[in-house]
A = this chain, B = another copy of it.
Amino acid sequence: MTPLKHIAESTVRRLSAYLRFLEDFEAQGHQTISSGELAAQGGTTSAQVRKDLSFFGSFGKRGLGYSVHALATSLRTILGLGREWRVIIVGAGKIGAALAQYRGFRERGFTVVGVYDVDATRLGRALDGNVVRDQTELEDDIHRLKPEMALLAVPAEAAQPLVDRLAKAGIRAILNFAPTPLVAPANVTVRSVNMALELEILSYALVNEKE
């Protein structure tokens, strides 16, 4: 539930979307792109694109558009994607196991370096190069493997104690899949993904917007 400071999360989401389109354009051999083309791909306006990019200094030249390669490089730097991030997954149930095997993470520079559970029947199971380890190993492994991020895919009642343990062990960014509000120290960012909430937003759209 911790919101990003200074720059709205919606801006970061759009920057991330722009980067995806730029990488597609680059793969197709395009050299330049206009704010209008970026806007059309991202379902927004040229003015919004220019405003989003202006947060981070000046890109592009009026009338000539943006250099696809230079803008993509800048966005990767802005988003912290010019490097590898080491990720652990706590909870190896259905969601944790699906996350551990999700190819999209490695493609974007996120490497899963450890998967943990408390359930003896799950320990030792191989998930794309990681073997599920006992949750009691968490602190030692964080010290040894130095992951920067943790994905939390555990039952609601187990989530807060784990946030406390992870924060104490030095993790500074947590993506939570448990449907429960969490508190964390100010230097730890916690984001929550809630699948049912995503459907509730659709349900809201169905009953309120488009009848």
Contact = CB atoms under 8 A, between A and B. Distances in A.
Interface of A: 1-7, 9-10, 12-13, 15-17, 20-21, 41-43, 78-81, 85, 87, 94-95, 97-99, 101-102, 104-105, 107-108, 110, 148-149, 172-175, 179, 181, 187, 189, 191, 193-210
Nearest to A197: B16
A44 B165 CA distance: 25
A80 B210 contact: no
Copies of this protein in the assembly total: 2
Contacts of A4: 201, 204-205, 209
Contacts of A189: 202, 205-206, 209-210
Contacts of A20: 179, 181
Contact of A12 (B41, B43, B204): B204
A110 B204 CA distance: 13
B1 A17 contact: yes
A43 B2 CA distance: 7
